[in-house]
Amino acid sequence: MKFLQIMRPLHWTKNMFVFAALVFGQKLGDPLALGMAIGGFFCFCLAASAIYILNDIIDRKRDCLHPEKCNRPIAAGKVTIGSAVVISVLCATVAIIGAFLLSQTFAIIILTYITLMILYSLLLRRIMILDCVVISIGFCLRAIAGAVVVGVFISPWLIICTFALCLFLAFGKRRSEIAQLRQDSEAFRKTLAGYTPELLAHMLDVTSGLAIVCFLLYARDVKTVERFDTQNLVYTTPLVLYCIFRFSALIQTGKYSDPVKFILNDLPFQIGFVLWVISCIIIIYADKLGISFGSISAY
């Protein structure tokens, strides 16, 4: 159990971005594409776990200062450094081999992700703002990889929207750390010394607004309308707004230590997100489902 714990399986939810292209590329009903996407998802899960373990090895002393992270197996001394290194290398190796079996291009993306995250762990996370930018790029690589592995085109607007949304989540995490750790925040993460609640609030406003605008531009883009034969995706915007605003409101209070715990524990957010996903699927696959939105589009 302790070895599984250091792999952080709860954080594998972040890799759901791999499935975005499956849904928006209209491949959800294709068994082969679905299988490829699932394979890509697990490859990214293992690659991410390798980096999580590396981070825990590097941060084991700082984690002891955190009210929650001090209970992580490596920081608590329940897992030795040697064992952690072996598991990390094993996860990375299986992820890379699995990626090559799926697609050479997908494997290159996995290698790029692992390399970027190693640089992040060793250096880039110490640079204010760039730390959050690199995290967001990692999520964009997930979305791009999902498109590559199922063989579909992915709109640049969707990539920019993913980047802005994940930058919003990253800044939200920094804000929650400051709210939770208070005066001890700098001791835990040095970059937090450069962030202030006011600055992060501004960054949250900017990135959330950018994510919403990019989604609207994607929904109204000519290629999107031609592909789905509808512009009704724009009508899901209220659900997008609700989810983003709820996250912003609660994460700034310090109630949740990171976005993953918020997503997995906040029921109103979960309901809003599931309704958005269902709405998108109904709109995108309306023809296959035998649903007509002609009267709505007319307006």
* Residue bearing the bigger pLDDT, 50 or 195: 50
Q: What is the pLDDT of residue 258?
A: 79
Rounded to the nearest integer, the mean pLDDT of the chain is 86
As a whole number, mean pLDDT of residues 224-247 equals 91
Cβ–Cβ < 8 Å for 155, 236:
no
Q: What tens digit of pLDDT does each residue of 216-225 get? A: 999 999 988 8
**CB neighbours of residue 202 within 10 Å:** 12
Tell me which of 20-24, 46-50, 89-93 is least confident: 20-24
Q: What is the pLDDT of residue 173?
A: 85
Distance CA 61, CA 66 (A): 10
Q: What is the DSSP string of the chain?
A: -HHHHTT-GGGGGGGGGGGHHHHHTT-TT-HHHHHHHHHHHHHHHHHHHHHHHHHHHHTHHHHTTSTTGGGSTTTTTSS-HHHHHHHHHHHHHHHHHHHHHH-HHHHHHHHHHHHHHHHHHHTGGGSTTHHHHHHHHHHHHHHHHHHHHHT----HHHHHHHHHHHHHHHHHHHHHHHHHHGGGHHHH-GGGGT--HHHHHHHHHHHHHHHHHHHHHHHH-HHHHHHHT--GGGGGHHHHHHHHHHHHHHHTTTSSSSHHHHHHH-HHHHHHHHHHHHHHHHHHTHHHHT---HHHHT-
pLDDT band at 178 (very low <50, low <70, confident <90, very high): confident
* Residue bearing the bigger pLDDT, 43 or 254: 43
Cβ–Cβ < 8 Å for 262, 247:
yes
pLDDT band at 182 (very low <50, low <70, confident <90, very high): low
Domain 1-154 of CATH type 1.10.357.140:
yes
As a whole number, mean pLDDT of residues 204-233 equals 90
3-state SS string for 57-72: HHCHHHHCCCCCHHHC
Q: What is the pLDDT of residue 282?
A: 92
The answer, yes or no, to whether residue 90 has pLDDT greater than 80, is yes
Percent of the chain with pLDDT over 70: 90
pTM for the model? 0.88
The answer, yes or no, to whether residue 211 has pLDDT greater than 60, is yes
State both tokens at 267: 């029921």
Distance CA 43, CA 14 (A): 13
pLDDT band at 186 (very low <50, low <70, confident <90, very high): low
